[in-house]
Structure 1
Amino acid sequence: MKKVCVITGGGSGMGLAVAKILGKDNYIIIVGRTVKKLENALKELEAEGIEAEAFACDISDRTSVDKLAAHAKEVGIISSVIHAAGMSPHMGEAKTIMEANALGTINMNEAFYEVMEEGACIIDVSSMSAYLTPKFIMPMKGYKYSRIDKELFMKKMMARVNLFPKKQRSGVAYSISKNFVIWYAKTDAAKFGQKGVRVLSITPGSFKTPMAELEKDDTDGFIEHCAIKRYGDVEEIANLLAFCASDKASYLTGTDILCDGGCVASGVNPLKMK
């Protein structure tokens, strides 16, 4: 049977870049809300001789994600899942961002846990915002409800977000949701390990992607604080994702890998930036 790699957010940026690497040894399923938006990505992959298909899925909807997981299992043996899809602060309202980033990660991990086999790996993509935002903002005591009562979990997350002025809520929702992604991947490791499956998160800093272009006014100021004073190229994060998903990293699980050019290490406080 085919080895299958599922990539959410595979239509552009780091998702498409990692598809070009993992596509050398895997059948690729790139995932987005609409197949039409993924057509150009498919053409790029096919031009490089990569077997791929597009699958329409709303990651914030569990039924939609279950269909994706079932389809991937029918196609072949799932070797890896790169969950790179997400929404940035400029892409929607706070609740929509929380549903896409936090609830979307819960849905992906839960659905694919059921269909992944020994030796497989799932990587959830976070953001350096999870580290830069002060910890007192994070409602970490409420994270546990993600496995108990998803409706209550969302209520607790949004209750914290709604403490902030309306114009700041999308940004706060983004930071909380990405902090949650790191926590969720780490605390899923033992469960996945029982099946011989690895789960971890990777946290990118500022990379040259379409999403970063939307946030450019907010992210440009971080570059001067980086040890490497430039935006990262998508190939740099794609190579990291591909390595972590491969058998070469078969002892790597339950952790987060920060790849941000040394921005977080600088100790920069975004609350004190202009």
Structure 2
Amino acid sequence: MRPLAGKVALVIGGTRGIGAAISRRMARDGAAVAVVYRSRSVEAECLAGVLREQASDVLMIQVDVGDVHALDRAIDDVVRHFGRIDVLVNVAGIAITGPLDDYADDAFDRVFALNVRAPFRAAQKAAAVMPHGGRIITIGSIVADRMPGAGGTLYAASKAALGGMTRGLARDLGARGITANLVQPGPIDTERNPADGPNADLNRAPLAIPRHGSPVEVASLVAYLASADAGFVTGATYDIDGGWGA
């Protein structure tokens, strides 16, 4: 079965790690897929080849979504190409960490531009063209609820903002049957946070299931939220964290 057949999925930050797994799952489930990415064009083209084996149509757009005008143009390009957006998945994010006194003067603006403003603007733009039953799914982080150590103030603050945004979107768009949900991963085995990396044991220490999760597991949760089966699920936060807060 291909539950997203005939749908168009836009994945922002969809070429690496969790984002790449989500892009592949959207294609496997039958959606035409647009992927927005910032860099590593060779990797993006390799992924595009994989997606084209399953998706009816694939569009790759290279842009820095921290630039709101560039993001607007990218979403306009998606709409021109496909004519619609049924599923929006916001994945792109940045982490600036370190001692509180060491943050650069522009650190707040850089983090919130990418982690909060970009998913808000993408949701605003995509919702304007979404048909009834559209889906908005944002990838946050479990540190929004529990910060395990020092050095992550800005990152945690930006991820916490996504919960309020998601609940607001659910209220604003519910009458149109458009759902908005937030997925908060814990430690996931990616290039940024490898299961055999120097901080891996510390990352796993709070978990009830003592291993890193996989990007495929996150993509499976996103696939459910994008499906018709999740039509009555909105304004919700789903932790996929191995029991981080248990």
- Classify the TM-score, shorter chain: 0.7 to 0.9
Give yes or no for contact 2:13–2:90 (8 Å, CA) kept in 1.
yes
Other structure's SS at 1:30 match:
strand
Query: Which deviates further from its counterpart, 199-208 or 58-67?
Result: 58-67
Other-structure match for 1:139: none
Q: Distance in 2 between the 1:242 and 1:53 partners?
A: 19
Give yes or no for contact 1:122–1:200 (8 Å, CA) kept in 2.
yes
Q: Distance in 1 between the 2:199 and 2:131 partners?
A: 41
Candidates 23, 32, 36, aligned match of 2:37 = 32
Give yes or no for contact 2:85–2:126 (8 Å, CA) kept in 1.
no
CA displacement at 1:70 relative to structure 2: 2.0
Give yes or no for contact 1:35–1:54 (8 Å, CA) kept in 2.
no
Unmatched 5+ residue regions in structure 1?
135-166, 266-274
Q: Distance in 2 between the 1:197 and 1:26 partners?
A: 17
CA displacement at 1:174 relative to structure 2: 0.7
Q: Distance in 1 between the 2:195 and 2:159 partners?
A: 18
Give yes or no for contact 1:6–1:28 (8 Å, CA) kept in 2.
yes
Query: What does the per-residue CA deviation read over 1:15-50, in whole Å, with 9 as the maximum and x for residues that have no partner?
Result: 11122221131111111124725222212323x333
Q: Distance in 1 between the 2:237 and 2:195 partners?
A: 25
Task: Write the letter of the residue equivalent to 1:81.
Answer: L
Task: Write the letter of the residue equivalent to 1:85.
Answer: A
Q: Does 1:18 align with 2:25?
A: no
Q: Does 1:117 align with 2:122?
A: no
CA displacement at 1:175 relative to structure 2: 0.5
Q: Distance in 1 between the 2:222 and 2:207 partners?
A: 21
Candidates 199, 215, 235, aligned match of 1:254 = 235
Give yes or no for contact 2:204–2:210 (8 Å, CA) kept in 1.
yes
Q: Distance in 2 between the 1:242 and 1:105 partners?
A: 18
Other-structure match for 1:42: 48
Task: Write the letter of the residue equivalent to 2:172.
Answer: K
Give yes or no for contact 1:83–1:123 (8 Å, CA) kept in 2.
yes
Other-structure match for 1:127: 141
The 1:253/1:211 distance shift into structure 2, 3 A limit, reads: same
Query: What does the per-residue CA deviation read over 1:209-267, in whole Å, with 9 as the maximum and x for residues that have no partner?
Result: 122249944453131221110000111111001111111111010111111000122xx
Other-structure match for 2:75: 69
Between Structure 1 and Structure 2, the one with more helix by share is: 1
Q: Does 1:84 align with 2:91?
A: yes
Task: Write the letter of the residue equivalent to 2:131.
Answer: E
Other-structure match for 1:229: 210
Q: Distance in 2 between the 1:59 and 1:214 partners?
A: 28
Other-structure match for 1:55: 61
Q: Distance in 2 between the 1:34 and 1:221 partners?
A: 30
User: TM-score normalized by structure 2?
Assistant: 0.84
The 1:215/1:202 distance shift into structure 2, 3 A limit, reads: farther
Query: What does the per-residue CA deviation read over 1:39-72, in whole Å, with 9 as the maximum and x for residues that have no partner?
Result: 22212323x3333221123222222222222222
| Pairing of 1:173-192 with structure 2 (within 5 A) | 173-192=154-173
Candidates 2, 7, 10, aligned match of 1:6 = 10
Candidates 174, 179, 192, aligned match of 1:193 = 174
Task: Write the letter of the residue equivalent to 2:166.
Answer: A
Task: Write the letter of the residue equivalent to 1:99.
Answer: A
Other structure's SS at 1:123 match:
strand
CA displacement at 1:90 relative to structure 2: 5.9
Q: Distance in 1 between the 2:154 and 2:92 partners?
A: 16
Q: Distance in 1 between the 2:132 and 2:165 partners?
A: 20
Aligned residues: 230
